Structure 1
């Protein structure tokens, strides 16, 4: 009877060891799975932030919309500065001398000979200088988009610049037309047949200036939208 009890006890100890081994193996596998999940989670949740996504996050909501308009305002000011400065330099460096010279006359054309073209250079130069002056205020509007007093001042000055550059470009465009077509009623002959390089250069300056007017008009619209959002 004692021998049977010992055998039963031995069998019980084996079963307990086997169950402990299975429990240890299950615990080890669960720990391994948990560690694997812990390593895999950061990889699956890591996302790359693109510039477009960052810009979208910055311009979300009412405050973000104002900041987005301020960023667009700054970009347009850079474009308007480039066009007005290019127009002023192109027109200001326009001159041409015909290759043949007579005994008493030399045929020479310069932008300063025509007051309308001189006004064109001055108007576009003032607009380019204003854009340099106003750019820091545009940057400040990106940082503090709720400052509406500054936006109102820029709106007024941008409107003045639209008028100035439009007047300068329109007067220069009239001279360009006369240079190409002339006016037989007052005996104004077309000079572009002789001064071809001169006419091509003033044509390009006028076209670039009208592009600058478009950028200024967009600045006025953006400033008006910013005030309306407020």
Structure 2
């Protein structure tokens, strides 16, 4: 009887952790999307108007797309977790959930890595390639992209935790 209560309690806390982490991942990626979209900055240099926007960089567009994908699939997987929790525990369903979480986690970290590399060059430049840093000129843009990147990394860490939790079910 005590072990049965312990199993139910463990299952309930695992379900709550799954739901919480998926909601957090959705919130972090949605916030990252909204900050990235509003990161545009206009500057005037010698009377010429320049625009700094995330869509100018393929790495930033990739991060934007990764965040959109993660946000949508977080919502879908949240529904799936709620449906699966009501039915009998099937290891096959958890395996698919593990694969889903791992793919989204890898998508997010690849987007974060690409954007981090471009962000580093934007902030510090690359002397050997004669690339000058631009963050001194478009600081509002760079700061907003940095905030979006941090939120994306938080989404990644949410999915890392979900992946570890899903993998633990197979032990």
TM-score of the pair, normalised by structure 1 = 0.69
Is 1:86 aligned to residue 31 of structure 2?
Answer: yes
Aligned to 1:134: 77
C-alpha distance in 1, partners of 2:71/2:122? 27
Per-residue deviation at 1:71? 1.7
Distance 2:162 2:38 in 1: 29
Provide structure 2 residue ranges, at least 5 long, that are not aligned to the other structure: none
Q: How many residues of Structure 1 are paired with residues of Structure 2 in the alignment?
A: 169
Which structure would you say has the larger Rg? Answer: 1
* Structure 1 counterpart of 2:41, from 81, 87, 96: 96
> Structure 2 CA distance, aligned partners of 1:173 and 1:137?
32
Matched, 1:192 2:128: no
User: TM-score, structure 2 length as denominator?
Assistant: 0.91
SS in 2 for 1:60: helix
2:8 is the counterpart of 1:60: no
Cα deviation for residue 110 of structure 1 reads 0.9
Question: Runs (4+) of structure 1 moved beyond 4 Å?
Answer: none
CA positional deviation for 1:101:
5.0
Take 1:121 and 1:185, find their aligned partners in 2: how far apart are those partners? 29
- Work out the CA distance in 1 between the residues paired with 2:137 and 2:52: 10
Superposed displacement of residue 136, structure 1: 1.2
Q: Could you say which residue in structure 2 is the equivalent of 1:170?
A: 113
Deviations 1:174-216, CA, capped at 9 Å, x for gaps: 1111111001111111111110100100010111111111110
Question: In the TM superposition, what whole-angstrom CA distance separates every residue of 1:116-171 from its partner, at most 9, and x where no partner exists?
Answer: 10001001100100011111111123323623222111100100001100000110
User: Match for residue 49 of structure 1?
Assistant: none
Pair 88,139 (structure 1): closer, same or farther in 2 beyond 3 Å = same
Which gives a bigger RCO, structure 1 or 2 (Cα 8 Å, sep 6+)?
2
Distance 2:10 2:119 in 1: 42
Separation in 1 of the partners of 2:92 and 2:15? 14
Deviations 1:37-80 (CA, angstroms, capped at 9, x unpaired): xxxxxxxxxxxxxxxxxxxx9x9322432232122111110001
Q: Is it true that 1:215 corresponds to 2:158 in the alignment?
A: yes
Q: RMSD over aligned Cα, in angstroms? A: 1.8
- Between the aligned partners of 1:89 and 1:130, the Cα distance in structure 2 is 17
